[in-house]
Amino acid sequence: MIELYDTTLRDGTQGEGVCLTLKDKLRITSLLDSFGMHLIEGGWPGSNPKDAEYFAAVQDLKLSHARIAAFGSTCRPTLAVEDDANLTALIESNAPVMTIFGKTWTRHVTEVLRTDLENNLRIIRESVAYLLAAKREVIYDAEHFFDGYKQDSAYALETLRAAIAGGASRVVLCDTNGGTLPHELAEIVADVVKAIDFPLGIHAHNDSGCAVANSMMAINAGATHVQGTVNGIGERCGNADLCTIIANLELKGGQKVLPEGNLSRLMELSGVVGELCNMSVQNGTPYVGRSAFAHKGGVHVAALQRNEGSYEHVTPDSVGNSTRILVSELSGRGNICYKADEFGLADSKESSVAVLEQIKALEAQGASFEAAEASVELLIRRQHEDYQPFFELLDFMVVVEHREGRGHLAEANVKIRIDNDVHHTVAEGSGPVEALDIALRKALTPSYPAIAKFHLTDYKVRILDGSQATQALTRVMIDTTDNGRTWTTVGASRNIIEASWQALYDSFEFGLVQAYGTRESDLLLAESA
């Protein structure tokens, strides 16, 4: 069985922009434990007060699966092990597992550590033995192993033998610079397996974009212990992504590494850790990214409708993800049919073709419907003969001016029709879009009180052809919530106010559909009342 070693709380926090509180670290520890991680590296107790506090606090967590590891280095080359503060801090952390790193690369021994090769072997052997004597399990990380092996393979192997002689339970080959390519790494690991009959691990960094591939190649060559971080966060370009590795092992490699059923929590784990680390999961991340099972091309969607697995390498729900069908100018009729079914709407060949033509025409004018599913649903609904909008725009006008004593001010006039009644409202705002929003609310709320719950949560503007200066196409995306749902709408025009109005109009119309059902059912309810 492959042993999973998570270093999100130590190596992961070395990533730029990652900063975890003690509370965050304890929460992630509990999450990793319940997920099924075998070893959790909590930090370096000799490096900072927070990590020392972590090892004191983690004693109170009731862990059901994982063991906690403390990280540190071999002793200083000029000190005896019992006099080294780093090793003392490791023991005082009371962690049951100690992971220490030492020098493998002769260049680092002589130029960084500034000692001789024989003394380096001594401090590796004695540091491991000292921790073992304190009744701790010791994992040895061979820093820069692959660089060291390429320069002096015999000495690199001697460093591993020194750790084994000291009593290490396993030795981990570290691609610390992240510069080794998969074919090189596979050959070296295979050589080490032949030379040393001992449990091996792999710790890969992603500087060449090969951390996951290198980890998989090492396992294939004989490694039985793999280190990495959730979402691959870490120093420079990051570490090997354990989310991808775990899914690969279970779904592709036939390796059972998690408790039964826990793989389906993979996307949840990725999302929660990403949120706590303030590092959003990239959409294109394998298995757990939002786009991992997203399909835009019409040919792909048509194939998926006939065979769900035709364009997906695994079942999305096996990792807690789901299939998403996107709508754009690249779509085919199948995309529209799929979305209509997803929205619970009736569909016909004629209506889906009409919607597709509208989408292609609107995207040619600057709109983008991939993320604006509320606008897509409205386009489909509007193709139905019996669909009636909740309101009809007659006129709007926006004025922006500077008034003495008040500064800049925007005023909007909106005239709409609801049934046979015309409503004309005026509102002021700090900007033209806010003024439009307020004026439209004033006109609609008496007839549709649910609008009081609608709140704009985001307003994005993108200039599509900046070379056209002030005549550039502008795309506006608006996110709206009713404190239960959130929806996105889009508008595009060479006039930013017009683009904003389009997105705003769809935002209110979609919200009203969700609040009241279709316009027809709303009218029936009103009549019966």
Question: Running DSSP on this structure, what letter comes out for residue 44?
Answer: -
Closest C-alpha among 175, 202, 142, 286 to residue 2: 202
* Residue 172, domain member (yes or no): yes
Amino acid 484: pLDDT: 83
Amino acid 523: pLDDT: 38
- Domain of 472, CATH number, reads 3.30.160.270
Give the chain's residues under pLDDT 70. 296-311, 324-334, 336, 338-339, 346-350, 466-471, 518-529
Distances 99 to 70, 112, 139 between C-alpha atoms, Å: 6, 21, 5
Distances 359 to 349, 363, 372, 376, 503 between C-alpha atoms, Å: 15, 6, 11, 8, 15
Does 101 lie in the same domain as 227?
yes
Distances 454 to 315, 332, 413 between C-alpha atoms, Å: 36, 33, 20
> Which two structure tokens, joined as six digits, stand for 381?
């609904």
> Which two structure tokens, joined as six digits, stand for 254?
């036939």
Please give the Cα distance from 134 to 519 (Å, whole number): 75
Amino acid 529: pLDDT: 37
DSSP assignment of 239-303, as one string?
B-BHHHHHHIIIIIS----S-TTGGGGHHHHHHHHHHHTT-PPPTT-TTTSTTTTEE--HHHHHH
Give the number of C-alpha atoms closer than 13 A to the C-alpha of residue 162, restricted to the C-beta side.
24
Does 212 lie in the same domain as 69?
yes
Does 443 lie in the same domain as 409?
yes
Long-range contacts of 344-353 (CB under 8 A, 24+ apart): 345/377, 345/380, 345/381, 345/384, 346/384, 347/380, 351/380, 351/383, 351/384
Element (H, E) at 212: helix 211-221
Amino acid 351: pLDDT: 73
Does 331 lie in the same domain as 243?
no
78-135 pLDDT per residue, tens: 899 999 999 999 999 999 999 999 999 999 899 988 989 999 999 999 999 999 999 9
Domain end marker among 244, 276, 308: 276
Neighbour count for residue 454 (Cβ, 10 Å): 23
Does 298 lie in the same domain as 264?
no
Does 268 lie in the same domain as 299?
no
Does 15 lie in the same domain as 66?
yes
Amino acid 313: pLDDT: 85
- Domain of 223, CATH number, reads 3.20.20.70
Neighbour count for residue 513 (Cβ, 10 Å): 20
DSSP assignment of 134-180, as one string?
TT-EEEEEEETHHHHHHH-HHHHHHHHHHHHHHT-SEEEEEETTS--
> Which two structure tokens, joined as six digits, stand for 321?
């993800």
The total domain count for the chain is 3
Strands of the sheet with 407-418, listed across from one edge: 392-403, 407-418, 421-429
Does 132 lie in the same domain as 22?
yes
Amino acid 305: pLDDT: 54
**What is the number of residues in the chain?**
529
Does 222 lie in the same domain as 349?
no
- Is the pTM higher than 0.95? The answer reads no
> Which two structure tokens, joined as six digits, stand for 377?
């649903």
Strands of the sheet with 474-481, listed across from one edge: 455-463, 474-481, 486-493
Does 451 lie in the same domain as 337?
no
Domain extent for 301: 294-364
Element (H, E) at 346: none
Amino acid 527: pLDDT: 35
